Structure 1
């Protein structure tokens, strides 16, 4: 990343300095278009920022000087740029453009860069994990170290932390990558059926065995067998698995012909196996057979700096599935960072999808989050309707949200507030009340608010409320 270049096409000197500083801080090497030496035209350009540029031919000239890839270069475009509309409408470029508002916000810039990168560059299998936090860098380093060998790996970690992804990544980075990766959840299959699932069975071996069937060991021949939730396996089954791991020979249920197997074993569990050994629930010899190379996945609460990257990744997946992407406001991100995430990355993925359904193309504020994620809302996240309710409830409620002056929203809180967001919250609350009184009819609501109907329609679009109203 640090050796990459980023072209800055911006005639406003103040803005140019701002974007250059931000890109430098993020590890890029930005170059102003008007100062670009010809010698740099052939370098590895990673994107371009387009700001106050009136002439599209001028932009085309700069991009064409970068070589054949110039027209496909990812573009960060200032939302108020004269070229923003034409660039978004360009069928070739539309998928390569991300808008950023000015004055520049670091969070939005980072999010836009991640979105462009994930859209333009396929992630190689050795870098499938999202996030650059310290814990994830250590996990990636361990994966790279163990992948080339056939050693058994025991992946530990809480539910939803990505243990199967670890197993798949190890397989994809190993010499066995061209052979099958077969997974089985040992805790989801009844103990009496698990032996057949693992080793297969012969026809007539038991009631319902109407034909011979291969087990997972045979299906994974030459590849990798992933034994998920190994800690839930019964003791009798543990004995049979241990024999196979020691001798690399098994027999189908109902058969007597030994079969050799060549599979790599990766197991995973959210349980404390050493504690289970002390309680007699897990065999110590099987534990040491599986735990040649233990690898622990960190819970999400220990890698919160990866939240923006994870959300960006989930947004891209939603877009591929036909859903809309969403943005989280700084206050919403703050609330998510204070949450404990017992369901880890899986829970975050579910939340992003839920909010994408509820608020397509919108910005999710802390007040929009499900209740358990909100924590204590900052003052700028409280809607106008909520302000009125708090005023009626008295100072006990309003003081919780940082208001002084007996719940008077006209009094500046001690910690200050974001005036723009604060006024927007009040405006949204009043618009919703007017719409409720007018039964959702825009024209009637506009009369109550003493504004033109077209003005109210624009505000409804601005705040993402247009889908809740009736024409009129």
Structure 2
């Protein structure tokens, strides 16, 4: 019986005797039961609790079961609903099915029929959820490539920490593969059958981040025309990957800390707390200890997320992995595009790749391999090809003369120069908007405004 204790069922009926009878039957089977005596209370319970199935009476005072079912589906909830009625007929059963009911049972319910329907509903829902998760994972999570001591240690750490529910903080420079590490932690965890939800804290304007993380109610602010389910709720029973967490505002940090402490969130514009069961894996390219000293990051949040630290080293600190990575990238390109088929590296070319700085880490190496594969004159990428690419990357054309020639007015020149400056700085910071804004000493909101003004896209 205990095996069903994690299944939470809401029994809705305006007759107390019916609710009590159903509670006794289902609790004997080990399920966790909540009760509601009206449609309004049902919708309230759905907001407050994690519900896996509802037994819903059709005829009730006020909002009837059909209206409740429609509201539940309109809000995007997918858990099964079994309708119960003492006045059943085929027309009502058909209508309930069209609205998304799993089954229709007449009062008084037959015990065996009820339990079979409950088990089937839960089994089908779990199967549908697993199928969605399997589809969402295709293609499979890429392998972590490398045999260096650093990568071997990371793989061993993942094997140890993944089966736990402890929070993980992944640190490392841009392009080192922090998200890949996070995905493998999820893949090897007990939560792998549930969702992996990622959010880039640096890519979302501060004023929208709270809504993105916690969701919002209809009418919470201008433009909130309907209810939105936030990332925390989407990741319920799964993993929430918070990338670039060091770029969050202090206000957003405080709200994330509260959510982690209470295992509950409150949507923007709402008042009710919604329980969530989420494992948070965070990542940052910043030194959060330095950020704490500078007053940019909360120390209490740091200790909450830094239960299990994993550092992903830059490529320059594991150069022995570069040949394997380069060949793997070329192999993957050949799978997707016949243009790369049959192309390979010479040993000298692989050694030359090991000598390059790779400030953009694995991401830069992937782009370089693609460029080499496209521009190679025959089927072998040589040392000369790599050296030529490295030389062209170090030489940046002076565009100042072009700006002067193209500008019709002084204002034209200023705007063209500003656009070029912003693009260059974004490239230097791997298109991390928060990091770029900090580097050139302007507010992040101004950065978004200028990117929109000059139509700058990655």
TM-score normalised by the chain length of structure 2: 0.53
Matched, 1:182 2:197: yes
* Structure-2 change in CA distance of 1:361 and 1:184 (3 Å): farther
CA displacement, residues 95-148 of structure 1 (integer Å, 9 cap, x when unaligned): xxxxxxxxxxxxxxxxxxxxxxxxxxxxx9899211111111000000001000
The unaligned stretches of length 5 or more in structure 2 are 1-138, 393-458
> 2:379 is matched with which residue?
362
The range that moved more, 364-373 or 168-177, is 364-373
Q: How far off is 1:367 after superposition? A: 2.2
* Structure-2 change in CA distance of 1:360 and 1:138 (3 Å): farther
Kept after mapping to 2: 8 A contact 1:200/1:213: yes
> 2:366 is matched with which residue?
349
Kept after mapping to 2: 8 A contact 1:133/1:305: yes
One of 295, 316, 324 as aligned partner of 2:340: 324
Instruction: Figure out how many residues of one structure are paired with residues of the other and give that number.
Output: 252
SS in 2 for 1:155: strand
RMSD across aligned C-alpha pairs, in angstroms?
Answer: 1.9
Kept after mapping to 2: 8 A contact 1:125/1:172: no
Kept after mapping to 1: 8 A contact 2:141/2:183: no
Matched, 1:191 2:206: yes
One of 118, 142, 151 as aligned partner of 1:136: 151
> 2:225 is matched with which residue?
210
Kept after mapping to 1: 8 A contact 2:241/2:282: yes
The range that moved more, 276-285 or 350-359, is 350-359
Report matched runs for 1:278-357 at 5 Å.
278-322=293-337, 323-325=339-341, 326-357=343-374
SS in 2 for 1:161: coil
Which of the pair has the greater relative contact order for Cα pairs under 8 Å at 6+ separation?
Answer: 2
User: 2-side partners of 1:366 and 1:346: how far apart?
Assistant: 21
Kept after mapping to 1: 8 A contact 2:373/2:381: no
User: 1-side partners of 2:143 and 2:377: how far apart?
Assistant: 27
Kept after mapping to 1: 8 A contact 2:217/2:228: yes
Q: How far off is 1:374 after superposition? A: 5.4
CA displacement, residues 420-441 of structure 1 (integer Å, 9 cap, x when unaligned): xxxxxxxxxxxxxxxxxxxxxx
Matched, 1:154 2:131: no
Q: How far off is 1:172 after superposition? A: 0.2
User: 2-side partners of 1:127 and 1:357: how far apart?
Assistant: 23
> 1:247 is matched with which residue?
262
User: 1-side partners of 2:225 and 2:236: how far apart?
Assistant: 24
Kept after mapping to 2: 8 A contact 1:324/1:360: no
The unaligned stretches of length 5 or more in structure 1 are 1-123, 376-472
Q: How far off is 1:149 after superposition? A: 0.2
> 2:238 is matched with which residue?
223
Report matched runs for 1:4-23 at 5 Å.
none
One of 152, 163, 172 as aligned partner of 2:187: 172
Kept after mapping to 2: 8 A contact 1:367/1:374: no
Kept after mapping to 2: 8 A contact 1:176/1:222: yes
User: 1-side partners of 2:355 and 2:279: how far apart?
Assistant: 40
User: 2-side partners of 1:361 and 1:200: how far apart?
Assistant: 53
SS in 1 for 2:228: coil
CA displacement, residues 6-28 of structure 1 (integer Å, 9 cap, x when unaligned): xxxxxxxxxxxxxxxxxxxxxxx
SS in 2 for 1:369: helix
CA displacement, residues 184-242 of structure 1 (integer Å, 9 cap, x when unaligned): 00000000000000000011110111111100011111100000000000011000100
Report matched runs for 1:105-124 at 5 Å.
none
List 4+ stretches of structure 1 deviating above 3 A. Answer: 124-127
Q: How far off is 1:371 after superposition? A: 4.4
TM-score normalised by the chain length of structure 1: 0.51
User: 2-side partners of 1:156 and 1:371: how far apart?
Assistant: 33
